[in-house]
């Protein structure tokens, strides 16, 4: 490996791992250490030299370097991910038409609201369940069912055993799933020009993930994607307000469209519940 190539690699790694916040001379030191280490090698071991530079740099960043391969020609150099690469792959992973399942927790002024969502990307049907606590009693269920250009909403209130049913024309609009966590919103966030930076690889509840972050004037937006499939795993947004931080956490699961995964989207009003009647609306609609 030539000195020029090593210098170019070091410069490229410095650019693409800037968001991991290594010291300013980290990659230069890594390249120098690698040159000393590979001084006696033949020029035919270029792949091994590249892997060694990356391994030295990852060691300095706190990563775990792999053992040198016995045969330099049998192992490719590690892939150096950039935020653009992660974002592009995460956007591609959102193209599937599966059922989105979301566990949500919204905290504001010391109180937290818990919810569970199901969203069918193909039909746009959704169900929102409001929970007293994670895994606790259900306070309310709201189904939104799309048929043609009509949206039918069935709102079930368990505290007084009642329900409300409304229909309205969509007029070409598309109903959405959980606010801040719909595939469309995730895609838009990943594709914006002034978007995320790459914090780095992490472990989230035992799952290997890649952590992306955007910090803005009055808050932050963090997104974790699976390190292998690039499917969104969690999104957490924080907005600073005079009354304290408003925090919205969404944990995602992506389900194939099977009878089991679609079952929660079937409107179910328990027996004995009374339908509410809305008062008439005065004046033009």
Confidence of residue 7 (pLDDT cuts 50, 70, 90): low
Structure tokens at 95: 């193209």
Counting Cα atoms < 13 Å in the Cβ hemisphere of 59 gives 14
Phi, psi of 51 (to 5 degrees): -60, -35
Write down the pLDDT at residue 195: 84
Write down the pLDDT at residue 73: 54
Q: Flag whether the pTM goes above 0.85.
A: no
Domain positions in the chain = 3-69, 88-269
More confident residue, 168 or 63: 168
Write down the pLDDT at residue 79: 64
Write down the pLDDT at residue 173: 83
Asked if residues 116 and 104 have their Cβ atoms less than 8 Å apart, the reply is yes
For 184-210, what is the mean pLDDT?
Answer: 91
More confident residue, 155 or 137: 155
CB crowding 77-108: b at 16 or more within 10 Å, else e? beeebebeebbebbbebbeeebbbbbbbbbbe
| DSSP count for the chain of H helices, then E strands | 6, 12
Q: Which CATH architecture has domain 88-269?
A: Clam (2.50)
Distance of alpha carbon 259 from alpha carbon 277, whole angstroms: 33
- Determine the 3-state secondary structure of 176 from DSSP: coil
For 74-85, what is the mean pLDDT?
Answer: 72
For 116-137, what is the mean pLDDT?
Answer: 89
Write down the pLDDT at residue 9: 41
């Amino acid at each position: 490996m030539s000195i020029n190539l090593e210098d170019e690699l070091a410069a490229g790694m410095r650019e693409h791992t800037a968001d991991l916040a290594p010291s300013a001379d980290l990659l230069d030191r890594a390249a120098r250490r690698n040159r000393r280490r590979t001084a006696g090698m033949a020029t035919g071991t270029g792949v091994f030299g590249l892997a060694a530079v990356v391994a030295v740099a990852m060691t300095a960043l706190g990563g775990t370097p792999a053992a040198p391969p016995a045969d330099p020609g049998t192992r490719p150099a590690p892939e150096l991910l950039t935020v653009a690469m992660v974002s592009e792959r995460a956007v591609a992973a959102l193209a599937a038409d599966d059922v989105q399942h979301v566990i949500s927790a919204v905290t504001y002024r010391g109180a937290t609201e818990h919810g569970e969502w199901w969203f069918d990307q193909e039909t746009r049907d959704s169900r929102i369940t409001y929970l007293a606590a994670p895994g606790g009693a259900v306070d309310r269920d709201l189904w939104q069912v799309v048929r043609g250009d009509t949206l039918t909403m069935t709102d079930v209130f368990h505290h007084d055993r009642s329900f409300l049913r409304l229909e309205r024309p969509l007029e070409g609009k598309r109903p959405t799933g959980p606010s801040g966590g719909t595939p469309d919103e995730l895609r838009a966030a990943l594709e914006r020009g002034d978007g995320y930076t790459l914090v780095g690889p992490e472990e989230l509840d035992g799952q290997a993930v890649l952590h992306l972050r955007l910090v803005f004037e009055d808050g932050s937006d963090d997104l974790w994607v699976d390190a292998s499939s690039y499917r969104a795993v969690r999104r957490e947004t924080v907005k600073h307000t005079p009354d304290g931080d408003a925090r919205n956490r969404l944990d995602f699961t992506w389900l194939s469209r099977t009878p089991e995964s679609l079952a929660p989207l079937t409107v179910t009003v328990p027996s004995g519940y009374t339908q509410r009647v809305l008062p008439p609306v005065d004046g033009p609609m």
